[in-house]
Amino acid sequence: MNIFRKLNIDPFLIGLVAMVALALIWPTPGVSGGVLHFDYATTYGVSIVFFLYGLTLSFEKMKAGIMLWKLHIAVQLATFLLFPAIVLVARWLVPGLMSDDLWLGFFYVAALPSTVSSSVAMTNIARGNVPAAVFNASLSSFLGVFLTPIWMSWYMSRNGIDMPLMPVILKVTLLVLLPIILGQVARHWLADWAKRNARWVKLADRTTILAIVYNSFCDSVAAGVWSSGDLIDVLKIAALSVALFLIVYAVMDVVCSLLGFDMRDRIACQFCGSKKSLATGAPLAKVVFGATPSLGLLIAPIMMFHFLQLVMVSWLAARFSRRVTD
Residue 96: predicted pLDDT: 87
CATH code: domain 36-223+235-321 is: 1.20.1530.20
Residue 37: predicted pLDDT: 67
Mean model confidence pLDDT for the chain: 81
Residue 65: predicted pLDDT: 62
Phi then psi for residue 58, to 5 deg, are -105, 115
User: pLDDT tens digit string along 174-184?
Assistant: 777 788 888 88
pLDDT greater at residue 185 or residue 57:
185
Residue 233: predicted pLDDT: 83
Among 107-111, 132-136, 316-320, which stretch is predicted with the lowest mean pLDDT?
316-320
* pLDDT band of 310, cuts 50, 70, 90: confident
**Model pTM above 0.75:** yes
> What is the residue extent of each domain of the chain?
36-223+235-321
DSSP string, 273-315: HT---HHHHHHHHHHHH-S-TTHHHHHHHHHHHHHHHHHHHHH
Average pLDDT of the segment spanning 245-267? 93
Average pLDDT of the segment spanning 242-252? 95
